[in-house]
Structure 1
Amino acid sequence: MNVLICNDRAEPLDSLIGILENNRDVTSVKVATNGRQAIDALHSSPIDISISSGTGLDFNRMLQRHIAPTVAASLTRVVATQSPTVPLFVKAHQFGFNNVLPLTTPEEKIVPSLQRTLSGEESIKDHPSVKALHLTPGALTHSISFEDTNDQHIVELVGVGLSDHEIAEALNLSIQNVRNRVAHSIRINQLTNRTQLALLQNTNWQIPDFA
């Protein structure tokens, strides 16, 4: 099992690195401390599992746009954090991660958990909080799509929190036209509600710094 750990200063994963480096079932452990290192590591040699911290969740999601599709398709992604919360489970699920690993897991159970995640036996979708919401996994990982420039302008204004009435007034459109276009944008982006549309729009605005 080849592992890449995206290690950040806000929530260091040094203890996890030590555990994996000393386990015979782990072939290699690469450590990246910034986006460029992570991208280079993923494209330079086979990586089975990428692990990021809870605080690095958003940044790791943004990296996905810079990974070759063939690499991304075979990559298992895990969030490792000390005390995972229900919101973190849901967010990780929506960002397309395969599992969440609590760092309170006994040392001898960490690698078996990663192996089960890699094989698909253990998954974030089986967490009770995620199952109860009936969410589509990875809904917020892709680039947002627009039917035309009017749709783009409407979604941009949804992203900054404007109501349908405010959007209609700003763009000189009927309220029903705005509502229809918002509903259409939700549908073509395979989302379930307006909040997800706003989140996807806002996450697409963010550009990671690979310096």
Structure 2
Amino acid sequence: MWKVMIVDDQDIVRQGLKVMLEQDKKITVVHEAGNGKEAIEILEKNHLVDLILLDVRMPVMNGMEATRLIKARWSEVKILILTTFNDEEYALETLKDGASGFLLKTADSAKLIQAVYSTMKNGLPIQEEVAAKVIPNLLKRKWQEEEIPENITERELAIIKRVGEGKTNKEISEELYLSIGTVKNHVTTILQKLHLRDRTQLAIFAVKHNIS
């Protein structure tokens, strides 16, 4: 059972999200908060939360600031950004700070639940409308590494490609006929070779270098 916290300054939105999420038996909403500060206070008292659905624009503490603070203290907690604002800068900032995905509030219940599953399986769900703005922006940004290092193997390139497509370790293992443990080990090695922090940066690397 995945334990979820919903953070949004509108009570009616929180209630609607809770109803949608709890249609799935594997998801239970254990906490609600009206802003980032309240979310952090809840985590300080009881940090047994697997995933936080986090709005961007909120009073007291917004979602971008909350993402930075939460990931710094509870790195294992997944954060899925949910907002009405289709703004690539929000997406870029929160993804850079450790968020695991970005959805608009216009997403239906099926897409929301699918995003939760993807996030919990180490995927990178980004709604199409957001990706359409984020990816071109990323491509304009100069990456620290202009070339792919020679010590990256063909197998590792195949994994990087699939991470860039937002696939989970399980999906990658099935496509490449590898165990999930082997895929995890490869991802760790790739991050070390490329001097990247996490899977999100690796996905951006794949897009920047057009690895396909």
Amino acid at match of 1:37: E
Contact 1:4 1:47 (8 Å CA) reproduced = yes
Deviations 1:22-59 (A, max 9, x none): 43121333101244531232231411111121313962
Are 1:113 and 2:107 matched, yes or no? no
Q: State the 1:82 CA deviation.
A: 3.2
Partner amino acid for 1:17? Answer: K
| 1:9 to 1:28, Cα distance in 2 relative to 1, 3 A | closer
Match for residue 20 of structure 1?
21
Q: Distance in 1 between matches of 2:51 and 2:120?
A: 7
Distance between the aligned counterparts of 1:92 and 1:66, measured in 2?
11
Tell me whether 112-121 or 15-24 shows the greater mean CA deviation.
Answer: 15-24
Q: What secondary structure does 1:73 align onto?
A: coil
How big is each residue's C-alpha offset from its partner over 1:104-163, in whole Å with a ceiling of 9 and x where there is no partner? Answer: 222223112111022222344993543331569xxxxxxxxxxxxxxxxxxxxxxxxxxx
AA of the residue aligned to 1:5: I
Deviating runs (4+, > 4 A) in structure 1? 64-69
Q: Does 1:130 find its partner at 2:134?
A: yes
Residue of structure 2 equivalent to 1:41: 42
What are structure 1's unaligned runs of at least 5 residues? 137-211
Which residue matches 1:78?
A: 80
TM-score scaled by structure 2? 0.51
Alignment-derived partner of residue 3 in structure 1: 4
Other structure's SS at 1:8 match = coil
1:52 to 54, 57, 65: 54
Given that residues 90 and 129 in structure 1 are in contact (C-alpha distance below 8 angstroms), is that contact kept between their aligned partners in structure 2?
A: no
Over 3 Å counting, the alpha-carbon distance change for 1:18 and 1:91 in structure 2 is: same
Alignment identity in percent? 19
The answer to whether the 8 Å contact 2:4/2:31 transfers is yes
Aligned-pair distance for 1:10? 9.8
Equivalent position of 2:99 in the other structure: 97
Secondary structure of 1:54's counterpart equals coil
- In structure 2, stretches of 5+ residues that fail to align are 143-212
Q: CA deviation at 1:67?
A: 4.5
Q: Find the structure with the greater CA-based Rg.
A: 1
Give the secondary structure class of the aligned counterpart of 1:17: helix
Indicate if the aligned counterparts of 1:97 and 1:124 stay in contact, CA closer than 8 A.
no
> Between Structure 1 and Structure 2, how many residues are aligned?
135
* Residues 62 and 11 (structure 1), Cα distance of their counterparts in 2 relative to 1, 3 Å cut: farther
Task: Note closer, same or farther for the CA distance 1:110–1:63 as it changes in structure 2 (3 Å cut).
Answer: closer
